[in-house]
A and B are shown apart, each in its own frame.
Chain A
């Protein structure tokens, strides 16, 4: 059962997918599994929906693992899924959130890449799509969105790790989310989780111009990283993508923000640079626990600031 599932170790794609099925079976009133598409190599793309009723309620989206080698993020996503089922009806804040909003959680956002990190190359980051005319494989799914696509901050060379793809939404893993977000039409917060560097980032990445909601996003980020640090003292920096790290075009949250989803954030989880992507499994649970406090802060604010 999900009570005996080991959250303190890394798992394969099959183990994570069977965890999802167990969670749905244990909480059929709260959790359902949606398939939003199939990957380039034909794997199903699943999203867990946490809902207490209603129809097309305002919703919060959380995704992990869009860069497949960032294993602590998928592992944290598994932990978040269990935490939501444990806390609903127990934790006042989460109960209030789920009594009015839905939560969508995509744990393995790049299944082909994730499977490849287990089978062939632990360092793989991109999708596994083939590019006509090139022997190199894959597109960076965080440069493939239709927001500043093709501008500085991504590569046009298929052999690089930040290759943006031939055109925006060329990657089915990206297009599936785009179609889902558009068809749902009522998502109010979109949080995409990466590692590493311990950062909480908001738009924009492709241009230096401040986002119209910059002040509010900055204030909320400050509250979120303060909540995160309260558990183990883990320090996060926060700010716009372009100012805090570097120019990045075609990124997820620049597109979601352009769709009117005001509370659009990217997390870069532990660590700051000892293990990087090879974060020991012993740090999975503490990383997930502290990140959850920040997520809860953003979700609570979203609930209390409808727009």
Chain B
């Protein structure tokens, strides 16, 4: 099973079209293995991207270098997945 330890989901705010284009540049960098949960669209609408642990520093440096604001929407994806799995197993155990 794929492991998402250390993966973070960042919420990027692109204020104008130029900033949206900057994020699209990021989207094209395949080696970063970015997973856009909400892709770049209208300026002002949030862009959510899951960033694997090895890419986090590079992505944050890129965003800061280009004046793109971001917040951390999910600190560690794996911890949410663990909670989800526990909840499902608990239910299955009860139903058995």
Given known pairs A9-B88, A120-B2, A273-B73, the reply for A278 and B81 (CB within 8 Å) is: yes
Query: In the complex, what residue of chain B is closest to A279 when comparing beta carbons?
Result: B84
Q: Is the CB of A9 within 8 A of B74?
A: no
Q: Is the CB of B39 within 8 A of A246?
A: yes
Q: Is the CB of B50 within 8 A of A123?
A: yes
Q: Is A276 an interface residue (CB 8 A)?
A: yes
Q: Is the CB of B84 within 8 A of A10?
A: yes
Q: Is A274 an interface residue (CB 8 A)?
A: yes
Give min CB distance, A70 to chain B, whole Å: 10
Q: Tell me the bound Cα distance from A42 to B24 in angstroms.
A: 36
Which B68-96 residues have a C-beta within 8 angstroms of A? 73-74, 77, 80-81, 83-84, 87-88, 91, 95
Give min CB distance, A67 to chain B, whole Å: 11
Chain B residues lying within 8 Å of A244, measured Cβ to Cβ, are 42
Query: In the complex, what residue of chain B is closest to A123 when comparing beta carbons?
Result: B35
Q: How large is the interface on B (under 10, 10 to 19, 20 to 34, 35 or more residues)?
A: 20 to 34
Chain B residues lying within 8 Å of A243, measured Cβ to Cβ, are 42
- Which of the residues B1, B41, B48, B83 comes within 8 Å of A246, measured between beta carbons? B41
Give min CB distance, B85 to chain A, whole Å: 9
Q: Is B37 an interface residue (CB 8 A)?
A: yes
Chain B residues lying within 8 Å of A9, measured Cβ to Cβ, are 87-88, 91
Q: Tell me the bound Cα distance from A122 to B45 in angstroms.
A: 25
Q: Is the CB of A273 within 8 A of B48?
A: yes
Chain A residues lying within 8 Å of B50, measured Cβ to Cβ, are 123
Which B1-52 residues have a C-beta within 8 angstroms of A? 1-2, 4, 9, 11, 30, 35-42, 45-46, 48, 50
Q: How large is the interface on A (under 10, 10 to 19, 20 to 34, 35 or more residues)?
A: 20 to 34
Given known pairs A9-B91, A162-B39, A273-B38, the reply for A278 and B84 (CB within 8 Å) is: yes
Q: Is the CB of B87 within 8 A of A281?
A: yes
Chain B residues lying within 8 Å of A218, measured Cβ to Cβ, are none
Query: In the complex, what residue of chain A is closest to B71 when comparing beta carbons?
Result: A273
Q: Is the CB of A273 within 8 A of B39?
A: no
Helix, strand, loop or mixed for chain A's interface?
loop
Given known pairs A246-B40, A273-B73, A276-B73, the reply for A6 and B95 (CB within 8 Å) is: yes
Q: Is the CB of B2 within 8 A of A122?
A: yes
Q: Is the CB of A278 within 8 A of B80?
A: yes
Q: Is the CB of B48 within 8 A of A276?
A: yes
Q: Is the CB of B1 within 8 A of A278?
A: no
Q: Is A190 an interface residue (CB 8 A)?
A: no
Q: Tell me the bound Cα distance from A274 to B74 in angstroms.
A: 7
Q: Tell me the bound Cα distance from A281 to B85 in angstroms.
A: 10
Chain B residues lying within 8 Å of A121, measured Cβ to Cβ, are 1-2
Q: Is A197 an interface residue (CB 8 A)?
A: yes
Q: Is the CB of B38 within 8 A of A280?
A: no
Query: In the complex, what residue of chain A is closest to B84 when comparing beta carbons?
Result: A278
Query: In the complex, what residue of chain A is closest to B40 when comparing beta carbons?
Result: A246
Which A151-184 residues have a C-beta within 8 angstroms of B? 159, 161-162
What is B's interface to A at a CB cutoff of 8 Å? 1-2, 4, 9, 11, 30, 35-42, 45-46, 48, 50, 73-74, 77, 80-81, 83-84, 87-88, 91, 95
Contact sample, A vs B, 10 pairs, CB 8 Å cutoff: A6-B95, A9-B87, A9-B91, A10-B88, A11-B88, A119-B1, A122-B81, A196-B37, A197-B38, A278-B74
Excluding A11-B88, A245-B41, 17 further A-B contacts by CB distance (< 8 Å) are A6-B91, A120-B1, A121-B1, A121-B2, A122-B2, A159-B30, A244-B42, A246-B39, A246-B40, A246-B42, A275-B74, A276-B38, A278-B74, A278-B80, A278-B84, A280-B84, A281-B84
